[in-house]
Amino acid sequence: MSALTQLHEEIARCTRCELAKHRTNVVPGEGAENAEIMFIGEAPGWHEDQQGRPFVGPAGQFLDQLLASIGLRREQVFIANVIKGRPPGNRDPLPQEILACRPWLDRQIEIIRPKMIVTLGRYSMAMFFPGKSISKAHGTFHKQDGIIYYAMYHPAAALHQQSLRKTIEEDMLKIPSLLAKAKSMTEVESPAQQLRMFES
Ligand code: SF4
């Protein structure tokens, strides 16, 4: 059994927060164990809770289209959420739930070791872009511990606010060049050299 499968079995038994009482299925995430890109959304919704899979409702269909726009399928990336269980009524996750669930996400990142983490929406962004607002941070990135963190709106935002659709599509199109730089960066020794590559 792979380390990730083993971890997901542990997550399925998790009762660290109240959300354990409300779920039909836990939704740990899915995709390639050696994915170069991880997409991290907010929390499972009704469809995800029913199927135990992330991003399978309307927002997930849009995410599939976005992935296709850069030549990727969901099996080639890893898709997860900040929270692994559905908050009742799709309410916002509570701070204590985010805190309780965070170690699972950290362990997924440790196992997958992606070159790039794309945050989808403000809850995911808040973990890696502290103090930033999504309206300013979307489409921007920073590098930490060898990983490029890139912020985007949640795909569901386009379903509620049609005007954001184009913004989300344009932000997605920046990912391939960022990933290419992230990959070549690992071959460059000096931090100063790495910085110059991203400024070019
Ligand atoms: S939401 Fe996360 S912390 Fe809470 S019970 Fe589910 S897996 Fe555990």
Instruction: Give the CATH number for residue 18.
Output: 3.40.470.10
Query: Which residues are paired to 2 by β-bridges?
Result: none
Q: Which atom of ligand 1 lies closest to the CA of 43?
A: 1
Query: Ligand 1 centroid to 75 CA: how many Å?
Result: 24
Query: Ligand 1 centroid to 159 CA: how many Å?
Result: 27
- Give residue for tokens 């009704």: 46
pLDDT (0 to 100) of residue 186: 62
Name the residue among 140, 160, 176, 158 with its Cα closest to residue 63. Answer: 158
SS3 call for 167: helix
Query: Which residues are paired to 119 by β-bridges?
Result: 40, 151
For residues 124 and 80, the answer to whether their CB atoms sit within 8 Å is no
Question: Which residues of the chain are modeled with pLDDT < 70?
Answer: 186-200
Structural domain range at position 158: 3-199
Pocket residues for ligand 1 (CB within 6 Å)? 11, 14-17, 19-20, 26, 83-85, 97, 100-101, 104
User: Which among 7, 8, 13, 15 is the best mutation to test ligand 1's pocket, defined by most ligand atoms within 8 Å of the CB?
Assistant: 15
Taking CA atoms only, the protein residue closest to ligand 1 atom 6 is: 85
Taking CA atoms only, the protein residue closest to ligand 1 atom 1 is: 85
How many separate domains does the chain show? 1
> What average pLDDT does the chain have?
93
pLDDT (0 to 100) of residue 189: 45
